[in-house]
Amino acid sequence: MTGFSDREDALENKFAFDEEKRFRAEARRNKLLAQWVGERCKMTADEVTKYAAELIQADLKTPGDADVLRKVVADLKSRGITVTDAEVRTEMSRCYQAAAKQTASEG
């Protein structure tokens, strides 16, 4: 029976590892997305850092990306910058791809 138990342990470890990688990539995506928003809003470096933390917190509220999407769209619109959900989704995807590459190279 140890063969089955070993495989089960290996699958659990792989799942935990994959989830940690996904979490790190999403947090990095939010930092990159904050930079994108910061450029459009002419934020200072400190403001971008603070905004990145806000996006990471928003992302933890509910599963999925909808909470981050809503926050970014609302924040841009509140500053008079017109943006569509599709534009933000595209940027979120681009940022995630870049973040996944960055975090993969970190080990």
- Domain span including residue 99: 24-106
Q: Which CATH number is 47's domain given? A: 1.10.790.20
Give me the percent of the chain exceeding a pLDDT of 90: 65
pLDDT digits 0-9 by tens, 27-64 = 999 999 999 999 999 999 999 999 999 999 998 888 88
| Residue corresponding to tokens 């999403």 | 26
Number of structural domains (the chain) is: 1
| Any domain includes 6 | no
pTM of the model: 0.83
CB 59 within 8 A of CB 88: no
- Would you place residue 1 in the very low, low, confident or very high pLDDT band (cuts 50, 70, 90)? low
> Which distant-in-sequence residues (6+ apart) come within 8 Å of 94 by Cβ?
none
